[in-house]
Amino acid sequence: MSKRSCAMSKKTFIAFGCTHIPHYDREYAENLIGQIRERKPDLIICLGDLLDTGAISIYPKTDVVKLGRECEEADKFLNAINDAAPKAHKVFMEGNHEERIWRPDQSAISTMLDFRKHIKSLRPWKYYSYIENPRYTYRTGQLTFWHGNACTKSGVTEDYEGIDLSGPKECAHGCYIHAHTHRPCEPGALRANARRLPFWRCNVGCGIDFKWVQQDYAKKRNISQWQHAFIWGWHETKRRYDGQPNWDIELITGKSAWGE
């Protein structure tokens, strides 16, 4: 590969997830948008759970917000991102909170609940449905992006999830990047039965307002490792089978749940 073609295939990116609008931290949002404006990434990925969709949750809620209001606030948030980096390629990975709209118990009104009709600023984003299948991940170079599902599927770890969705044959020396658990982590080697594999996993954390988290919900989940974060990095968009990772990721962290 020539130096010129190598430079052309090297792109920067920012990825974030789990803002749970309208229950998101405004300081986190301002920092994220400021970083996008300053760094001007070539690619921006939202890894899902942009919305909380509490109004259609099967779990009891004490402070339900109308879905229309969630869409209004999400529209402002994404519009600010669009303005900060108008030339960036943008990818939206649906999360389990958005996927609620398409579940069987909502099938009679799913088309009316479809938030894509109400969030106009989402139109420039390439959209991926929340389906646990490699075909529904977003792949670029050695990187694989998906929302995540490990903490809600019994017996499955994030490592095995990364292996299933990216796979060493598909993306050797790559990195599986996800959200969902709200627990950020630097890129670390995946393991299967204590064996270190030649590819990695990274979690982008969350942007949720920790003061909002309901006491009943906190009893069900351990939130001690929840933390505000997003990632910045670069990668080669063309896969190079040279036995090394052609990417680099920086985890940018903020407030943590235990610090509130």
- Residue 45: C-alpha distances to residues 5, 64, 89, 157, 203 (Å): 24, 28, 9, 23, 13
Sign of the CA dihedral with 27 first, then 31, 34, and 36 last: negative
Give which of 147, 46, 54 is closest to 100, Cα–Cα: 54
Domain count, the chain: 1
The Cβ of residue 48 has, within 10 Å, a number of other Cβ atoms equal to: 26
**What is the three-class DSSP state of 198?**
strand
Domain annotation covers residue 154: yes
Sequence-ordered alpha helix ranges (H) in the chain:
3-9, 26-39, 67-84, 96-99, 110-113, 158-165, 215-220
The Cβ of residue 61 has, within 10 Å, a number of other Cβ atoms equal to: 13
pLDDT (tens, 9 = 90+) of the chain, 260 residues, equals: 444 445 558 999 999 999 999 999 999 999 999 999 999 999 999 999 999 999 998 877 777 899 999 999 999 999 999 999 999 999 999 999 999 999 998 989 999 999 999 999 999 999 999 999 999 999 999 999 999 997 755 555 888 788 788 765 656 789 999 999 999 999 998 877 777 888 899 999 999 999 887 655 555 567 888 999 999 999 999 877 778 899 999 999 999 988 75
- What is the per-residue pLDDT for 100? 94
Domain annotation covers residue 240: yes
**What is the three-class DSSP state of 60?**
coil
Which residues touch 10 (CB under 8 Å, ≥6 apart)? 234, 235, 236, 237
Record the pTM. Answer: 0.92
Domain annotation covers residue 4: no
- Residue 207: C-alpha distances to residues 3, 141, 243 (Å): 38, 27, 35
Domain annotation covers residue 5: no
Domain annotation covers residue 206: yes
Domain annotation covers residue 1: no
212 vs 54: CA distance, rounded Å: 13
Q: Which domain holds residue 250?
A: 14-259
Domain annotation covers residue 18: yes
- What is the per-residue pLDDT for 5? 45
Residue 140, by phi and psi: left (phi above 0), alpha (psi -120 to 50) or beta? beta
The answer to whether 122 touches 92, Cβ cutoff 8 Å, is yes
Q: What's 237's domain CATH number?
A: 3.60.21
- What is the per-residue pLDDT for 236? 95
43, two tokens:
């690619």
Domain annotation covers residue 8: no
